[in-house]
Amino acid sequence: MTQRKNDLIQFFEWMRNGIAFVTTWFLILLLVYSAITGIKVIQTVTLIKMLVWIVGAVFIFNLFFTKILFKKWSFLKRLSTFMILISIYELVGFYWFNFFTGKENLFQWLIFISIVLVLYAVSIFIYQRISKKQGEIYTDALKHY
């Protein structure tokens, strides 16, 4: 029971922190984009859509990377499933914000898919490097013992 309570506390702390961080980051990006393109007014509906999109994305992240729902999944299984689901969620969001419209739609898809695949590959590479290093440290500690 205590572990379940700790998992719930972690989930809600990550929700709070994730929403605060991502909202701040996206608001900065939106302000920079608006300044560069000469947009003088950001509509309230756009900000509401952005907040709803952010809350959903943070929820998906927390669902997979806290132990609230998937207790026994390995990191790679969590990461792979998360990447598939968050990519679909982002695509829906991009259509909702009208980012994927017009003739350049195929080009935008290719850029998006390329970014996701590169970031996924980098995440796997980093994970393998860290796992190998941790394995060596653990093996050395066992030998010393």
Q: pLDDT (tens digit, 9 = 90+) per residue, 36-52?
A: 999 899 899 989 999 99
Q: How far apart are CA 15 and CA 9, in angstroms?
A: 10
Q: How far apart are CA 9 and CA 21, in angstroms?
A: 18
Spatial CB neighbours of 108, under 8 Å, sequence gap ≥ 6: 94, 99, 100
- Which of 78-87, 89-98, 113-122 is the least confident region? 89-98
What's the mean pLDDT in 61-69? 88
- Which of 6-20, 52-66, 91-105, 131-145 is the least confident region? 131-145
What's the mean pLDDT in 20-44? 92
Spatial CB neighbours of 79, under 8 Å, sequence gap ≥ 6: 64, 120, 123, 124, 127
* 133 contacts 90 by C-beta, under 8 angstroms: no
Angle at 72 between CA 68 and CA 14, to 5 degrees: 30
Q: How many Cα atoms within 13 Å fall on the side-chain side of residue 145?
A: 6
Angle at 106 between CA 100 and CA 107, to 5 degrees: 90
**3-class secondary structure, 38:** coil
**pTM for the whole structure:** 0.77
Spatial CB neighbours of 66, under 8 Å, sequence gap ≥ 6: 7, 10, 11, 14
What's the mean pLDDT in 21-45? 92
Q: How confident is residue 107, by pLDDT bands cut at 50, 70 and 90?
A: confident
Instruction: Give 118-121 contacts, CB < 8 A, sequence gap 24+.
Output: 120/79, 120/80, 120/83
Write the Ramachandran bin of 15: left for phi over 0, alpha for psi from -120 to 50, otherwise beta. alpha
